[in-house]
Amino acid sequence: MSTSQIASSAFTLGTVAVLPFYTLMIAAPNASITKRTVESTAPYVALGLLYAYLLYLSWTPDTIRAMFASKYWLPELPGIVRMFASEMTVASAWIHLLAVDLFAARQVYHDGIKNNIETRHSVSLCLLFCPIGIAAHALTKVLAGSTGRSH
């Protein structure tokens, strides 16, 4: 399998793997199956292993030099741009985002359950626009609190 095929397959596999978790949190947030499923660490372990594999395939001495090109060993935008010219690097970054976004969505979901606050819109936003989903949840909590609901 070529590196392009591996990157493409990992991208698709990771994307499809998180969808059942989001679907349950959005479609049936109070169902017992959702609460049990969302507690699982399986998606994070699976995505973590896939991410580690993609990093192994994508990180070369050139990648590391591009990542830490400044005199302070900090990333700089031009180096990151060069690094993301590789499909493998983009696929690994996508898997990283999926894992972190799902984790944040789970935190939003748990907070909503705990505080009896609607989270479907915030969880939905976490799928592709995680920081906006977190902000939407914070705003929802404020608005729910101002209408007399618990927070």
Q: Where are the domains of the chain?
A: 3-148
Instruction: Give the per-residue pLDDT at 150.
Output: 44
pLDDT, average across residues 2-10: 95
Give the start-end residues of each E strand in the chain. none
Closest CA to 93 of 47, 137, 39, 136: 47
pLDDT at 39 over 80: yes
Tokens of 66: 């591009």
Q: What are phi and psi of 70, to 5 degrees?
A: -75, 165
Q: What percent of the chain shows pLDDT beyond 70?
A: 96
Q: How far is CA 28 from CA 34, 117, 121, in A?
A: 7, 14, 13
Give the CA count within 13 Å in the CB-facing half-sphere of 16: 6
Average confidence score pLDDT of the chain: 92
pLDDT at 149 over 60: no
Q: Tens digit of pLDDT for each residue in 44-78?
A: 999 999 999 999 998 888 887 777 777 788 888 88
Closest CA to 98 of 3, 21, 8: 21
